């Protein structure tokens, strides 16, 4: 084995260790526990789940049951609107950079009137 090959292998190993150390240092933030991010199930969700289980137990007769139809509709709405946890947050708006106009990068239609399209 050549001395040059050994030096190259050691250099690659040192580079890998340095990159790993940098990645660990840059990702040194405290993450909240997984349980803190989950929403607390409400009692209405428990009631809805119980009614869904009742409708499942009914089988094909549930298709004619008005209560099951209402529960299925509520379940669909819960599925589609499941991100309500985040709807109360306002979108983050950043101030414009010092080299950008106040309106951002996009120009208004009045500014583009003289430009060919």
Tens of pLDDT, residues 63-87: 898 989 999 898 888 888 766 655 5
Domain count, the chain: 1
pTM given for the model: 0.36
Q: Give per-residue pLDDT as tens, 3-49.
A: 999 999 999 999 999 999 999 888 877 766 665 555 555 566 678 88
The answer to whether residue 97 sits within a structural domain is: no
**Domain assignment present for 67:** yes
Residues 73-107 as b/e (b if ≥16 CB within 10 A, e otherwise) read ebbeeeeeeeeeeeeeeeeeeeeeeeeeeeeeeee
Indicate whether 116 belongs to any domain: no
In a domain, 88, yes or no: no
C-alpha–C-alpha distance, residues 89 and 86, integer Å: 6
- For the chain, counts of helices (H) and of strands (E): 4, 0
Whether 88 has a pLDDT exceeding 60, the answer reads: no
Domain contains 79: yes
Residue 90 lies in a domain: no
Does residue 60 lie in a domain region? yes
Reported in sequence order, the residue ranges of 46-103 that DSSP labels E, i.e. its strands, are none
Q: Which domain holds residue 72?
A: 42-83
Is 17 within the bounds of a domain?
no
How far apart CA 45 and CA 82 sit, in angstroms, is 12
Within 13 A of 87's CA, how many CA atoms are on the CB side? 4
């Amino acid at each position: 084995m050549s001395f040059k090959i050994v030096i190259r292998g050691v250099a690659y190993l040192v580079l890998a260790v340095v990159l790993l150390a940098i990645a660990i240092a840059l990702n040194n933030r405290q993450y909240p526990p997984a349980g803190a991010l989950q929403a607390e199930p409400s009692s209405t969700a428990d009631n809805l789940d119980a009614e869904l289980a009742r409708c499942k137990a009914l089988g094909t007769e549930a298709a004619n049951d008005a209560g099951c139809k209402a529960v299925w509709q509520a379940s669909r709405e819960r599925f589609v609107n499941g991100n309500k946890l985040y709807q109360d947050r306002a979108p983050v708006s950043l101030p414009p950079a010092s080299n950008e106009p106040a309106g951002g990068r996009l120009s208004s239609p009045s500014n583009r009137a003289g430009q060919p399209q």
